[in-house]
Amino acid sequence: MPYLLLQIVGLPLVAAVVTGFTRNVRKSHLPGWITITTLVYTTLLLGFAGIRVCGGEVLLEQYFIGPEVSLNLLADGLSLPMALIINLICLALAVYSLHYVEHRIELIYGQCSPRVYNLYFRRFFLLYLFFPTGFMGVAFATNLLSVYFFMELLTIIPLYFIMAQFGYSDYITRYKVALMCLFWGVAGATFFLIGIIMGYVQIGSFEIAELPRLAGNPMTIWIAIVILLGLATKLAIIPLHVWMPWVHAEHPTCIAGLLAVYANIAVYVAVRILILPLRNDIYPLALPMMTFAMVTMVYGALLTLAQSDIKRFCACSTISQISYSVFGIGIMTAWGVKGGIFYFLSHIIGKALLFSTAGILVYTVETREINKMGGLWSSMPLTAILWFSAALILSALPPTSGFVGKWIIFVGAFKAFHSTPTGLVIVIFAVLSTILTLVYTFLAGIRIFFGPQKPPRPDHPPTDPPLTMSLPLLALVCVALGLGLYPEPILDLLGSVIGFF
């Protein structure tokens, strides 16, 4: 099939333009269905590409743009599984959004005329489609500038605009938080840009394939530090985590799951542009990275325990969970990096589930306070199952994908550091701190779903959401279980790229 990867990256943009032109007299879900159709198609394309990559092929498409800048797209064993899972999540959340956005618009803009309703509905999905484009672009890009471009695209278009228009607080706060998110995003990206320009000065190229030429250069470690600083802003590593709870709490819940992807994809970027080409030069950074990650894991988890707002709860959990992946790639061995990326996939599935389940709760119970919920098990069993599945995935218990990820990360960590006392202590602390995830997810779940019933409106007990909201989430649960019991294909794919050191 020609232009396979270009279609995957570009079609959502085309669809966004098409949605912009839909007009309808009555209230219509058409833009949503256009989005879903496009994503189904690109997911199929990714599956097709996946079969070819599994066969040992590396897909490379070259599109020349200008001097130093290219839009070459590369699908190998590292980028493809990640792109596939992310696209699946985008698809699931698009289906989930259909109902949710309707509810948001009614909540923010009241009982508006169909024209205004359609305007906002269209606008949401138009912006939503930038997510898949941005993610796929970051995954497949082979040029540092295009990586930068796609990361900025993700920050500016969907994050800023969606939040400003569909957020939770009043008009002023909404724009304030959106601006803050923009500032943090741009600041991180600027560090990243400075880093890649420093690299360009040394080797005269922005191509990722040229990066190994930096090896042995005394500047490399500084370049790596600047780039990592930029990425750490996205990853919300302590002390650069301040924006995360705000942004997540403000976002419409249906895309909050994608925010976790947005933050976590920086792990992939770090692997692609630093660890794979320059591993030996930046190895001194391994222990500091792991230490920061370990501290963030613990701090994020404690922060989560302290939350009573269900959306901030999920946001703080993201801070902690992303650090598992950072810990994994910080080990800088084949096991560690493989585990870090695998855990990244597991985390985004789990977090999409957790956030969306929180969204269901906000939607049906009409409050965000965990303290005002209780005993919902009897009226919302399906939601409870979804919540506890997400809890299982995030707390990395068997038989979910999280367990496999955690196992690989920590085997890698112990293999690399069992002989140095400091390393051993850090790794043991990190393993033990993972219990905090179990504590906070299950404690919150028990408070929400068990105990005395606390529906805010006793005359109108909450019920399970419509199927368009729960079915895509159940599908994600199945994906996580599948990855937990049969992770071999993905691990083999990752191994084909990472396995060499």
Partner 1 sequence: MTGTIVSLKPLLALGCPLLGTGMIFIYRKQPNVREGCTLAAAALLFAIVISMAPPILAGKVIAFRLITICPGLELGFRVDAFGLLFAITSSFLWILVSLYSIGYMRALQEHAQTRYYCMFALAIFSAVCIAMAENLVTFYVFYEALTLSTYWLVAHHEDEEAFAATRKYLTYLLASGWFLFAAVVLTYALAGTTRFADGGILTTASASRWTLIVLFALFALGSMKAAWMPLHSWLPAAMVAPTPVSSLLHAVAVVKAGVFGFVRIVCHIFGVDLFSELGLGLLLGWMASFTMIVASFMAIGQDNLKRRLAYSTISQLSYILFGVALLSPFGIKGAMIHIPFHAFMKITLFLCAGAIMVITGKKAISQMAGIGRQMPITMAAFTVGAVGMCGAPPVAGFISKWFLCLGSVQSGHLIFLGVILVSSLLDVVYFFPIIKTAFFDAPQEGADRRNGDVLRMETRKPLYLFMIVPLALTALFSIVFCFFPGTFFILDLVEMAVNNLFNP
Q: Binding string, 380-399, against partner 1, x = CB under 8 A?
A: -----------------xx-
Contact of 406 with 489, CB cutoff 8 Å:
no
Phi, psi of 58 (to 5 degrees): -120, 120
Q: Is 431 in the site for partner 1 (CB under 8 A)?
A: yes
Of 179, 209, 432, 478, the one binding partner 1 by CB under 8 A: 432
DSSP 156: I
Q: Is 111 in the site for partner 1 (CB under 8 A)?
A: no
Q: Is 488 in the site for partner 1 (CB under 8 A)?
A: yes
β-pair type (64-66, 73-75): unpaired
Q: How many residues of this chain bind partner 1 (CB under 8 A)?
A: 28
Q: Which of 30, 8, 40 is nearest to 124 (CA)?
A: 30
Min CB(416)–partner 1 separation in Å: 9
**What span, in angstroms and rounded, lies between the C-alpha atoms of 75 and 32?**
28
User: What is the Rg, in whole angstroms, of the alpha carbon atoms belonging to the chain?
Assistant: 22
**What span, in angstroms and rounded, lies between the C-alpha atoms of 196 and 191?**
9
Q: Is 404 in the site for partner 1 (CB under 8 A)?
A: yes
Q: What is the dihedral of CA 350, 351, 353, 357, to 10 degrees?
A: 140
Q: Is the dihedral of CA 264, 320, 315, 376 positive or negative?
A: positive
Q: What are the Cα distances from residue 356, in Å, to 139, 419, 465?
A: 24, 43, 11
Tell me which stretch binds partner 1 (CB under 8 A): 53-61, 172-180, 432-440, 459-467: 432-440
Tokens of 325: 């992946």
Of 30, 414, 471, 474, the one binding partner 1 by CB under 8 A: 414
Instruction: Indicate the helix (H) or strand (E) that contains 205.
Output: none
**What span, in angstroms and rounded, lies between the C-alpha atoms of 433 and 157?**
36
Q: Is 428 in the site for partner 1 (CB under 8 A)?
A: yes
Q: Which of 66, 70, 53, 71 is nearest to 10 (CA)?
A: 71
Q: Is 438 in the site for partner 1 (CB under 8 A)?
A: yes
Q: Is 424 in the site for partner 1 (CB under 8 A)?
A: yes
Find the binding residues for partner 1 in span 206-245 (CB under 8 A). none
Of 63, 222, 486, 501, the one binding partner 1 by CB under 8 A: 486
- 478 burial (CB, 10 Å; 0-12 / 13-18 / 19+) is exposed
- Pick the closer one to partner 1 by CB: 109 or 407: 407
- Pick the closer one to partner 1 by CB: 209 or 432: 432
Min CB(434)–partner 1 separation in Å: 7
Tell me which stretch binds partner 1 (CB under 8 A): 78-86, 268-276, 284-292, 482-490: 482-490
- Pick the closer one to partner 1 by CB: 161 or 414: 414
Q: Is 421 in the site for partner 1 (CB under 8 A)?
A: yes
Of 449, 487, 497, 498, the one binding partner 1 by CB under 8 A: 487
- Pick the closer one to partner 1 by CB: 258 or 385: 385
Residues engaged in binding partner 1 (CB under 8 A): 397-398, 403-404, 407-408, 410-415, 418-419, 421, 424, 428, 431-432, 434-435, 438, 484-488, 491
